[in-house]
Structure 1
């Protein structure tokens, strides 16, 4: 494979692998928007560089050799032991902000960039990457044989192939000391175990959600906030576990996206316990469109009968009138009449003769099959029976022989 002139799949036609200002390379999740890319000298403000590895794993490194690095360059970085291969995803001042968000424990975690990856480095990297699927399958069998209550979700080899990271999920604490020994003997590499959650596993593996778009945890979401069923109740979403669960079998993270807007808008909705009194009769709360500010009332407390939809402002007006002992003529505002239901002709402008054509085709098929059946029966009846030399049929000859015996 020729890695010298290798170019990546581009998002907006950049020639160095990643676009500086757009969403970047399409196969790179969690890409950071560099809004300082057009500022002159931005790359010279710091030697810190953000490097991304397989899936969502990122690291931060010092460009100690003063390499001319741009977004999309493949580099060899310091690892323990050996070196690793990654892609430059961010340079300049924004790297400091990303390091602050990452909450690094100590400055020692920021290591060095050795060089831009050579063809030899890429060849080793591809060989190590090709072993990941088989390693994951074998490691799952080993963990099952040892009776460990854990699930190995992903395996990532280091760029030089000397180390492998096993990402696993477990509900309880797992003693995997024996597992590490068996894995080291089986694969002849240094073993590192990392525990992740169900949402992090979905982000690493990736996929498409029920909305038809790529998973948020695999594209842009870095911090996972706890999601409760209260967010669904606030938005009047039915508590169906199959509909509320995401690809990780947990509650969808998107339930929190509009929860605050619904909480703020729901304060403008009148209480559901309040009964609106009018000259026509009493009206009970039936449903509400929180964001649109519309409330629907029914004359029946338990069923939807004679439904009337009004605005929250009108509902509050009627509540104030009831407090003063007044009753409006109807729920609708003065001068406004209820729109009459108009009959709708579903077949207007449609050609219904197409149904006749279908019936004719079916009749022709039935007639054809009946004719073939009658022809086949007549042919069977007219078929001559086999005769012997004396002019007797086979059946008659057999019957005579049995009688003579």
Structure 2
């Protein structure tokens, strides 16, 4: 789905269908909607009940796909209907899991979503293997006649988000279930850049993938490291010449060995020795302008001071 620009002055509302879900944008039309209002909207998966969580354009100034209209504000009866479908979703989950087990399918059915109008039913599942789901699809289509049945593959992070529970770090609620609305790409490089242990137990989340939190301070580490001398670099400090033994990006400082002592030195007091010596050599070179010197150095091209 491509991002589209919205003309200036266009009214837009952001709607969520799940408490910590992605925000989708709609045209409020003639309705004066406020944050917290419930609305009925048309989506590719049928009519849905959602909640307004923002007013106006997103910061990017772009939205995904065409701007669909809000069909109408939701009523108390609509909220009761949504509760009814939530109970039916649990029943359908039990049914689907039972049939998957009967068929011997190596899949984990995690959640069922039924559209507000009941015409669309999605079975969210996860598997690490290639599985023929046609027998299961046929059974479910026979049970839920007249509805559009979808079997939707989700990733391990989505599974962890749906199930919830404690995080690998001990946080009472996992980040993905608490506030993450989208998943960012995570790489082992992020752990290396922050000097973290590369032991899988230390950097793997409950989903079995690299922890989402590895990205939280990654950019800050990268920026800070660019302004600090690298480990092993010779530097001048208030304590004398030394060698960097550890970089402390978040403190914007470095640990420097000077003689047999180690000092924590802020970046403002760190001078790369190569750079310092180059400046000293330049300062010691005689000026070629002789008596017309304006740079503060004296001397002729032959290096002798004028008499």
TM-score (normalizing by structure 1):
0.53
- Contact between 2:166 and 2:173, CA under 8 Å: does it hold in 1? yes
- Counterpart in the other structure of 2:150: 192
CA distance in 2, matches of 1:177, 1:202: 26
Matched, 1:171 2:128: yes
Cα RMSD (Å):
3.8
Return the offset for 1:271. Answer: 3.6
| Residue 127 (str. 1) matches residue 84 (str. 2) | yes
Q: Does 1:295 align with 2:252?
A: no
Q: Which moved more, 1:211-220 or 1:172-181?
A: 211-220
Structure 1 residues 128, 295: CA separation in 2 closer, same or farther (over 3 Å shift)? same
Aligned counterparts, 1:38-187, within 5 A: 45-55=9-19, 56=21, 58-64=23-29, 66-78=30-42, 83-91=47-55, 93-94=56-57, 100-101=62-63, 103-104=64-65, 107=66, 110-171=67-128, 173-187=130-144
Matching residue of 2:284 = none
Shift of 1:259: 2.2
Mapped partners of 1:70, 1:284: distance in 2: 59
Q: Deviations over 1:317-352 (max 9, x none)?
A: 59978xx9xxxxxxxxxxxxxxxxxxxxxxxxxxxx
Measure the CA separation in 1 of the matches of 2:165 and 2:61: 27
Q: Which residue of 1 aligns with 2:222?
A: 263
8 Å Cα contact 2:248-2:255 kept in structure 1: yes
Give 1 or 2: higher strand fraction: 2
Counterpart for residue 308 of structure 1: 262
The runs of 5 or more residues in structure 1 that have no matched partner are 1-43, 277-282, 300-305, 325-405
Counterpart contact for 1:51–1:87, Cα < 8 Å: yes
- Determine if contact 1:235/1:259 at 8 Å carries over to the other structure: yes
CA contact under 8 A between 1:286 and 1:298: conserved in structure 2? Answer: no
Separation of aligned partners in 2, 1:170 and 1:98: 34
Deviations 1:251-271 (A, max 9, x none): 112212222332343342344
Q: Cα–Cα, structure 1 residues 256 and 94, in superposed 2: closer, same or farther, change >3 Å?
A: same
Moved more, 212-221 or 192-201: 212-221
Task: Look up the SS of the partner of 1:54 in the other structure.
Answer: coil
Q: Given that residues 12 and 57 in structure 2 are in contact (C-alpha distance below 8 angstroms), is that contact kept between their aligned partners in structure 1?
A: no
- 2:207 is aligned to 248
Name the count of aligned residue pairs. Answer: 260
Greater length-normalized contact order (CA 8 Å, ≥ 6 residues apart):
2
Q: Find the counterpart in structure 1 of residue 297 from structure 2.
A: none
Instruction: Find the aligned partners of 1:259 and 1:227 in 2 and give their Cα distance.
Output: 10
